[in-house]
Amino acid sequence: MDLEPYHRIASDAYLGELTRRPIGEIRAMRTECQRVEDTLSYLRRLVQGRLDIVRAEHDRRLAGGAPSALAELVAQLPETLAQHVGGSSTRPPHDLLPPDDPDVTADLDALCNVGTLASLPTHSSDELRHLLDGLVDLEQVVSARRRVLFDRLDTLSAELTRRYRSGEATVDALLQ
């Protein structure tokens, strides 16, 4: 994924002199943060799905099972992937579509692509552990980046709210 927008947003300078910036710029910054967060959210969902699949096979083997056949892994997918599904999303379904950036999944695919998932039964337990560790690390990196963006979004929203409450900005200005 192209990290330039994220690094720019995460820098201390991004929120510099926020109280002096025009309200339109603050709104644009908030939109930019949301767009980058949406991309990271999509990536996180993909990482978590692959992590759940690899973890299920790893845990099954730890419990004394032999490597699964691919058909067994596929048959278990609905149960495996449903474990962490929550019904709390308020986003419309079209927001769950992948972003336009084809590089979003590059790091994930380098670590665990579809071919890797299809060949899980042929991997040793040590290889599964290594794959699992890599996916956990990637999920933590993506989640940490999302937390930074949520902090930025909270700061920007707080500044907008402050301006409306203080009268510096009005709803009428939005309609012009």
Of 4, 2, 9, whose CA–CA distance to 148 is shortest?
A: 9
At residue 175, the pLDDT reads 53
Banded model confidence at residue 73, pLDDT cuts 50, 70, 90: low
Q: Report how far residue 17's alpha carbon sits from residue 115's, in angstroms, rounded to the nearest whole number.
A: 48
Of 123, 128, 122, 121, whose CA–CA distance to 59 is shortest?
A: 128
Backbone angles phi, psi at 106, to 5 degrees: -60, -50
pTM of the model: 0.79
What is the rounded end-to-end Cα distance, in angstroms, of the chain?
37
Record the tokens describing residue 159, joined without a space: 């500044």
Q: What is the residue type of 53?
A: I
Q: Report how far residue 19's alpha carbon sits from residue 12's, in angstroms, rounded to the nearest whole number.
A: 15
pLDDT of 37 strictly over 70: yes
At residue 68, the pLDDT reads 63
Please work out, in degrees rounded to the nearest 5, the angle formed at the alpha carbon of residue 144 by the alpha carbons of 83 and 29. 115
Which residue has better confidence, 172 or 11?
A: 11
Q: What is the DSSP letter of 57?
A: H
Which residue has better confidence, 5 or 171?
A: 5
Which residue has better confidence, 92 or 28?
A: 28
Of 105, 115, 116, 117, whose CA–CA distance to 142 is shortest?
A: 105
Of 53, 51, 41, whose CA–CA distance to 133 is shortest?
A: 51
Mean pLDDT across the stretch 80-93? 54
Residue % of the chain over a pLDDT of 70: 76
